C-alpha cells in the first residue's frame, strides 16, 4: 500500500489551523485588553503597551503561517513569543502547570520550524538573488 502524500499536507493544514485559532484568540484578548490579560501583564511587571505589541506580533505570526514560503518564519516568531511567555511565568514564580500551555505550544512551533527548515534556505536564496 502506497500513500498519496496528502496525509502530511492535510496534517500541516490542520496544525496551522489549530495554531491560528489559538494565537488569534490570544491576540484578540490582548488587543481588547481583557482583564485577565491586563492582570497577567501587570503581574509580570510589563507595561500595558507591551501587551499590544505581543498581540500584534501574534497576529503577524498567524498571518505568516499561511504565506507560502514564510510558514517557518511565522512559527519562529510565535515560538519567540512563547519563549517570552515561559520565561515570564518562571520569573514570576508561577507553578509549572501555569506555563505548560506556553511550553507545549513552543515545542509544537519549534517542530513546525524544523519541518519547514527548507523555507530558510529559500529565503536566503531570494536574498542572495536581490544582492546580485
Q: With respect to residue 2, please indicate whether it lies within any of the assigned structural domains.
A: no
Q: Structurally, how many domains does the chain consist of?
A: 1
Q: Which residues constitute the domain of residue 125?
A: 7-131
* pLDDT at residue 1, rounded to an integer: 45
Q: With respect to residue 58, please indicate whether it lies within any of the assigned structural domains.
A: yes
Q: With respect to residue 65, please indicate whether it lies within any of the assigned structural domains.
A: yes
- pLDDT tops 50 at residue 60: yes
37-52 pLDDT, tens per residue?
Answer: 999 999 999 999 999 9
Q: With respect to residue 1, please indicate whether it lies within any of the assigned structural domains.
A: no
Entry pTM: 0.89
* Per-residue cell: 27: 491576540
Q: With respect to residue 35, please indicate whether it lies within any of the assigned structural domains.
A: yes
Amino acid at each position: 500500500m502506497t500513500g498519496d502524500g496528502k496525509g502530511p499536507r492535510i496534517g500541516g493544514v490542520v496544525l496551522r489551523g489549530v495554531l491560528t485559532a489559538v494565537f488569534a484568540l490570544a491576540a484578540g484578548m490582548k488587543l481588547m485588553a481583557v482583564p485577565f490579560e491586563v492582570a497577567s501583564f501587570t503581574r509580570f511587571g510589563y507595561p500595558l503597551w507591551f501587551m499590544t505589541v505581543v498581540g500584534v506580533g501574534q497576529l503577524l505570526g498567524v498571518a505568516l503561517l499561511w504565506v507560502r514560503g514564510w510558514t517557518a518564519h511565522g512559527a519562529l516568531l510565535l515560538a519567540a513569543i512563547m519563549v517570552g511567555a515561559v520565561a515570564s511565568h518562571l520569573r514570576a514564580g508561577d507553578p509549572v502547570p501555569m506555563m505548560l500551555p506556553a511550553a507545549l505550544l513552543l515545542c509544537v512551533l519549534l517542530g513546525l520550524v524544523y519541518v519547514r527548515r527548507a523555507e530558510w534556505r529559500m529565503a536566503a536564496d531570494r536574498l542572495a538573488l536581490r544582492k546580485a
